[in-house]
Structure 1
Amino acid sequence: MRIVIAGAGIGGLTAALSLHAAGFEDVTVHEAAPEIRPLGVGINLLPHAVRELTELGLADRLAEIGVATAELAYFNRYGTPIWSEPRGLAAGYAWPQYSVHRGTLQMLLLEAVVERLGPDSVRSGSRITGPGDEDLLIGADGIHSAVRAHLYPDEGPPPWNGLVLWRGVTYGEPFLTGRSMIMAGDGTQKFVAYPIETGERTLINWIAERPLDGEAPDRGNWNRPADLTEIGRHFADWRFDWLDVPGIIAGAETAYEYPMVDRDPLPRWTFDGITLLGDAAHAMYPIGSNGASQAIIDARVLAYALAQGDLAAYEELRRPATTALQLSNREMGPEVVMKLAHERAPEGFDDIEQVIPHEERAEIAASYKRTAGFDPASLSERPSWSVDRSAAS
């Protein structure tokens, strides 16, 4: 079976590794960019995605490039705690959660693909816009997918919700546990920070978010440079006892602007030898740290379904799950606790229990884990998507 993958991002490269592990030998990855470079900033890999990369034999390499997240904590815009929870192994998972540089992860996956599938398995400067003579074309070519556009030519640009993200990295002092991921805000304006390198110096990945006046430029372009002074102006008074937000922003060498866009859920991914994966199938708001993780899971399920001779099973399992997640992220997912805290106590509070009771906060967190597929108990109990190589043809 000849399989062509459009896109050498995290989803496309994981798909190549997964298909090879399932016994498919004729797999090539085509990347439109003339050179694959480690672009981007930080992302998070949740335990369900780390499980899949572990089963692909990448656990040790992943541990070398990632920071194992110890906790996730939410605060209001004054730095007062709203909710915190352990993450990864500390939360009882069998797999850690990692914060990593997106480009470093992509290079790790690329190296593994070349090692296992051969040096000709990834072809840069090769844009795929539609089917050729392959048996299966997998569109893993991102939010501006040419393969998706071939299937849905009238869709248009990604819809924008009026918010802009600014993203950067800064060397700074460790905060809280030293391996904490924090989100502070009021439901409209938000600041996120977490370390992606620790050791002699801590490299902090950060995201600043707020409404943008006017029309969003370059929807879906992660690499549009932004003005650090302008960003800092909006967060000038966000100095907490444990984190200096304007100092972190000012300490970056550069930052990138990205309008918050996604894609509407599709009624169908698979047509006559073509299917979609990752952002090409279900681009979602960067809420709940799920974009890359869901692409990795897509890749594993797709390889499993193909090895069983049942491509339809891939979409039957993944499309409803990712549709629910896309819609949840449009409602702010677990980050809604910041919005609720602001609505109920806009000037701040002394006792969060009087604002959002513990039971309500806990259910918001647990509900999102169920929707996104990383509820601790169900993740541990779920059978593996690894397959016997001899099952593939």
Structure 2
Amino acid sequence: MRIVIAGAGIGGLAAALSLHAAGFTDVTVHEAAREIRPLGVGINLLPHAVRELTELGLADRLATIGVATAELAYFNRYGTLIWSEPRGVAAGYSWPQYSVHRGRLQLLLLEAVVERLGPDAVRTGSRITGPGEEDLLVGADGINSAVRAHLYPDEGPPPWNGLVLWRGVTYGEPFRTGRSMIMAGDGTAKFVAYPIETGGRTLVNWIAERPLDGEPPERGNWNRPADLAEIGRHFADWRFDWLDVPGIIAGAEAAYEYPMVDRDPLPRWTSGRVTLLGDAAHAMYPIGSNGASQAIIDARVLAYRLARGDLAGYEAERRPATTALQLSNRRMGPEIVMKLAHERAPGGFDDVERVIPHAELAEIAASYKRTAGFDPRALDERPSWSVTR
């Protein structure tokens, strides 16, 4: 079977590796950009995605580029703790959670594809807009997918929810465990920070979020430069005992602006010998750290089902799961705890139990894990998607 993958992002490269591991030998990845460069800032890989990369033989390489996340913690607008939980192996998973630079992860996957599939497996400067002579075209070309547009030509631009994200990286001091991912906010404005490099110096990936007045200039472009002074102005008084938010923003060399957009869930991903994967299939708000992880899982399930001659099974397994996750993220997913804390105690609180009981917080966290597919017990008990040849 001849398989063409449109897009050499994380999902497309993971698909190439997964298909190769499943026994498909005629696989090529076509990337519209003339050069694949390590663009972007930090992302998180959750344990269910790390399991898949481990089964692809990439665990050791991944450990060299990522920081094993130890904790996730939510705070209110004033830096008071709402909820914290261990993450990765500290939470009982068999696989870690990693915070990584997106570009470094992409280059790691690219290196593995070239090693295993050969130097001609990835073709840059090659834009795919629709099916050709291949047996299967996989659209993994992102939120502005040309392959998706071929299937849905009247869809239009990604819908925007009125918020803007600013993203950057800053060398700074470690906070909390030194490997913590923190989110502080009130349901409207939010600041996220986590380390993507530790050791001699800590490189902190950060995201600042708030409503944007007017219409955003571009939708779906992660690399639009932003004004650091303007970002800092909106978060000037977000100084906590344990984190200096305006100091982190001011310490970045550059920042990038991204309107918070997603895609509406589709009634189908597959038409004839064309199917979709990753953001092309189910772009979602960057809530819950799921974008890259879900693309990797798509790749593994696609290869597993194709090896059994069951392309329909790929969509049947993945589309309902990702649709539920897209809709959950539109409702703020587990980050809803910051909104609830603000609504119930807008001036702050001394005892979170009197604002949001522990049982309610625990169920919000557990429910999202079930929806996203990384409940610890279910993940351990799920059979492997590796194909035995």
TM-score range, shorter chain: over 0.9
For residue 258 of structure 2, give the secondary structure of its aligned residue in structure 1.
Answer: strand
After TM superposition, list the pairs within 5 Å mapping 1:295-314 onto structure 2. 295-314=295-314
1:114-167 deviation per Cα after TM superposition (whole angstroms, max 9, x unaligned): 000000000000000000000000000000000000000000000000000000
Task: State TM-score, norm by structure 2.
Answer: 1.00
1:169-222 deviation per Cα after TM superposition (whole angstroms, max 9, x unaligned): 000000000000000000000000000000100000000000000001110100
> Structure 1 residue 167 and structure 2 residue 196: aligned?
no
User: Which structure 1 residue ranges, 4+ long, deviate > 3 Å from structure 2?
Assistant: none
**For residue 24 of structure 1, what is the aligned residue in structure 2?**
24
Task: State TM-score, norm by structure 1.
Answer: 0.99
**For residue 99 of structure 1, what is the aligned residue in structure 2?**
99
The one-letter amino acid paired with 1:223 is: N
For residue 287 of structure 2, give the secondary structure of its aligned residue in structure 1.
Answer: coil
1:200-248 deviation per Cα after TM superposition (whole angstroms, max 9, x unaligned): 0000000000000000111010000000000000000000000000000
For residue 214 of structure 2, give the secondary structure of its aligned residue in structure 1.
Answer: coil
What is the RMSD of the two structures over their aligned residues, measured on CA atoms? Answer: 0.3
**For residue 178 of structure 1, what is the aligned residue in structure 2?**
178
Provide the rounded CA distance (Å) in 2 between the counterparts of 1:16 and 1:74: 36
The one-letter amino acid paired with 1:274 is: V
**For residue 57 of structure 2, what is the aligned residue in structure 1?**
57
Provide the rounded CA distance (Å) in 1 between the counterparts of 2:220 and 2:271: 25
Provide the rounded CA distance (Å) in 2 between the counterparts of 1:331 and 1:277: 23
In structure 1, the gaps of 5 or more residues are none
> Structure 1 residue 111 and structure 2 residue 111: aligned?
yes
**For residue 293 of structure 2, what is the aligned residue in structure 1?**
293
Identity of aligned residues (%): 89
Provide the rounded CA distance (Å) in 2 between the counterparts of 1:388 and 1:46: 25
Provide the rounded CA distance (Å) in 1 between the counterparts of 2:243 and 2:62: 28
The one-letter amino acid paired with 2:220 is: G
1:267-296 deviation per Cα after TM superposition (whole angstroms, max 9, x unaligned): 000011000000000000000000000000
Cα offset, 1:388, TM superposition: 1.6
Provide the rounded CA distance (Å) in 2 between the counterparts of 1:324 and 1:217: 29
**For residue 15 of structure 1, what is the aligned residue in structure 2?**
15
Provide the rounded CA distance (Å) in 1 between the counterparts of 2:225 and 2:37: 17
**For residue 241 of structure 1, what is the aligned residue in structure 2?**
241
For residue 141 of structure 1, give the secondary structure of its aligned residue in structure 2.
Answer: coil
> Structure 1 residue 80 and structure 2 residue 80: aligned?
yes
Provide the rounded CA distance (Å) in 2 between the counterparts of 1:220 and 1:309: 34
**For residue 5 of structure 1, what is the aligned residue in structure 2?**
5
Cα offset, 1:7, TM superposition: 0.1
Provide the rounded CA distance (Å) in 1 between the counterparts of 2:22 and 2:276: 19
After TM superposition, list the pairs within 5 Å mapping 1:1-393 onto structure 2. 1-389=1-389
Provide the rounded CA distance (Å) in 1 between the counterparts of 2:378 and 2:313: 20
The one-letter amino acid paired with 1:260 is: M
Provide the rounded CA distance (Å) in 1 between the counterparts of 2:235 and 2:92: 35
Provide the rounded CA distance (Å) in 1 between the counterparts of 2:312 and 2:131: 18
Provide the rounded CA distance (Å) in 2 between the counterparts of 1:120 and 1:358: 54
Provide the rounded CA distance (Å) in 2 between the counterparts of 1:220 and 1:141: 12
Provide the rounded CA distance (Å) in 1 between the counterparts of 2:101 and 2:235: 24
1:2-59 deviation per Cα after TM superposition (whole angstroms, max 9, x unaligned): 0000000000000000000000000000000010000000000000000000000000
Provide the rounded CA distance (Å) in 1 between the counterparts of 2:265 and 2:133: 28
